[in-house]
Structure 1
Amino acid sequence: MRLRLRLFEFEDLPWFPTTIRAGMMDYLRFMISALGIYRPIAPLLAEGLRRTNQTHVLELGAGAGGGTETVWRALQAEGLPNVTITLTDLYPQPAAWADIAHQTAGAIGYEPTAVDALAVPAHLRGFRTIFSAFHHFPPAAAQAMLHDAVRAGTGIGVFEGAGKHWRELLLAWTALPVAQLLLTPFYRPFRLSRLFFTYLIPVIPLFTIWDGSVSLLRMYSTDELLALAHAADPAGLFEWQAGKQRHSWGPEVTYLIGWPK
């Protein structure tokens, strides 16, 4: 699928209710973690950490932290036993993040205040990553995010949990909504509001279907990712690579990763 449309996602809108956004993020966190969507990129991220002599990852646009614990454990399996991660977002979710911090004994921590991925505060250091969220940024903002990483002299990895295929769009309309209805009672932390807005007034599933579909249509291709990277780094200070990593059971992850030469 080469089509890329600049449609809107409800979770991006400042007025969108926090409770509904949190319910949608809880679903994404559960599914991404349960399916191990981002496990295939662990070797790439491990290489980036070694190339930059870092053991800390700064996750931008973390949402509810979906998949972060899986990535952390995969990095340990790649020979980085001391790796730590800090979760950040423009709309922080400390309740969800505190659960992840507890499950990992603090190895995955979080910044409780809002963090703009286009202008990361100097005190937040580490190899930057953004999972499932780069498509939210229009080209100028996406380029600014990459440029901010170049300016700071740190590495950055952009990862989208799809290969941008029409069959993924079909899944977003069929199987995934059914899974959401079946699995919602098992999400942590438990929220009565999540049950109410899933089963009694099903706005969480409906908004999830819309935003999931739009996410695929907004995704950048690998060629577009490289073009953004080179525009953000006109002096050629970073080494960049983009591509797709396939999971052992089929799904793909589209990625862009770069580090200082």
Structure 2
Amino acid sequence: MKIRWQLFELEDQAWFPHAVRQGMMDVLRFLITALGIYKPVVPLLREALEKTKQTQLVDLCSGAGGGIKQIWQELEKQGSQPYRITLTDKYPNLEAYRFLAEQTKGALTFETQPIDATAVPADMPGFRTVFSAFHHFQPQTATAILADAVRQNQGIGVFEGAGKRWHELLLVWLVFPWLILLITPFIRPFTWSRLFFTYLVPLIPLGTVWDGTVSLLRLYTPAHLHRMVASLDAPNYTWHIGRARHWSGTGVLYLIGYPS
């Protein structure tokens, strides 16, 4: 898929029920972790952290923290020093963040106040990451996220848990609904609302399939990402853009940039 469609995702809509939105994000967090979606890009991220001599990461647009605990675990396993990650979002999912902070004994912390990814406070230094969220933004805003990192001389890594391939749509349509029905009782922290909106009124499965489809159509291709970084005034930055292959046959789109 070379074309990008700017369609709407339900979780982006202010009117969309909060409990359903949170349930959908919890499902994605569980699946991303269980399938190890972002494991293929950990070596690339670790290399960038070594180049910038950073052990502090600032995760932007964290949602429910999908996959970030596993990223931290893999960095700790592959690296030679401890890493700390601060979770941030314009609409912080504090319940999920507290759960992750407890599970990592404080290695994952979080910001309770809304953080705009296009204007990160100067007192929050660290290598920035965006997992599974860059496609939500229109090109002008997405470019502004990169520009803010450049303006503050911070490294940034953008990662999408798909490769924008047609067969990935079949996975979303044919596999995701059954997976959600199977895994929901095992998702933590437990909530009754998640059970209600999965089995009695199945808004979470339906919403996840819709948003998953739209997400694939909204993903930026490597060509799109190359054009974005070319528009930045960043002569001192090194950029790496491409697809990393996942064991399932899907891909992980990535963009990594840091001061040379």
Give TM-score, length-normalised by structure 2.
0.97
Q: 1:55·1:80 contact (CA, 8 Å) conserved in 2?
A: no
| Corresponding residue number in structure 2 for 1:106 | 106
| Corresponding residue number in structure 2 for 1:171 | 171
| Corresponding residue number in structure 1 for 2:62 | 62
Q: 2:132·2:161 contact (CA, 8 Å) conserved in 1?
A: yes
Alignment partner of 1:33 is 2:33: yes
Report the Cα distance in structure 1 between the residues aligned to 2:3 and 2:150, rounded to whole angstroms. 29
Deviation at 1:235, TM superposition (A): 4.1
Deviation at 1:104, TM superposition (A): 0.7
Q: 1:222·1:243 contact (CA, 8 Å) conserved in 2?
A: yes
User: How far does the alpha carbon of each residue in 1:21-47 deviate from its partner, in whole angstroms, 9 at most, with x for none?
Assistant: 100000000000111100111111111
Any stretches of 5+ residues in structure 1 without a counterpart? none
SS at match of 1:102: helix
Letter in 2 for 1:173: W
SS at match of 2:102: helix
Deviation at 1:241, TM superposition (A): 1.3
| Corresponding residue number in structure 1 for 2:259 | 260
Alignment partner of 1:248 is 2:236: no
User: How far does the alpha carbon of each residue in 1:52-99 deviate from its partner, in whole angstroms, 9 at most, with x for none?
Assistant: 111011100111111111111111122243111111111101111111
Alignment partner of 1:133 is 2:133: yes
Report the Cα distance in structure 1 between the residues aligned to 2:132 and 2:224, rounded to whole angstroms. 16
Report the Cα distance in structure 1 between the residues aligned to 2:43 and 2:140, rounded to whole angstroms. 29
Report the Cα distance in structure 2 between the residues aligned to 1:107 and 1:43, rounded to whole angstroms. 20
| Corresponding residue number in structure 1 for 2:185 | 185
Report the Cα distance in structure 2 between the residues aligned to 1:79 and 1:92, rounded to whole angstroms. 29
Query: How has the CA–CA distance of structure 1 residues 5 and 113 changed in structure 2, closer, same or farther, with 3 Å as cutoff?
Result: same
Of 246-255 and 216-225, the range deviating more from structure 2: 246-255
Q: 1:90·1:114 contact (CA, 8 Å) conserved in 2?
A: yes
Q: 1:198·1:204 contact (CA, 8 Å) conserved in 2?
A: yes
Identity of paired residues, percent?
Answer: 54
Q: 2:150·2:234 contact (CA, 8 Å) conserved in 1?
A: no
How many residues align? The count is 260
Report the Cα distance in structure 1 between the residues aligned to 2:80 and 2:140, rounded to whole angstroms. 34
Alpha-carbon RMSD across the aligned residues, in angstroms, is: 1.0
Report the Cα distance in structure 2 between the residues aligned to 1:235 and 1:104, rounded to whole angstroms. 35
SS at match of 1:253: strand
Of 159-168 and 10-19, the range deviating more from structure 2: 10-19
Runs of 4+ in 1 over 6 A off after TM superposition: none
Q: 1:226·1:241 contact (CA, 8 Å) conserved in 2?
A: no
Of 64-73 and 247-256, the range deviating more from structure 2: 247-256
Alignment of 1:88-99 (within 5 A): 88-99=88-99
Report the Cα distance in structure 2 between the residues aligned to 1:26 and 1:219, rounded to whole angstroms. 21
| Corresponding residue number in structure 2 for 1:197 | 197
Letter in 1 for 2:105: A
Alignment partner of 1:8 is 2:20: no
| Corresponding residue number in structure 2 for 1:144 | 144
Deviation at 1:17, TM superposition (A): 1.8
Report the Cα distance in structure 2 between the residues aligned to 1:34 and 1:52, rounded to whole angstroms. 30
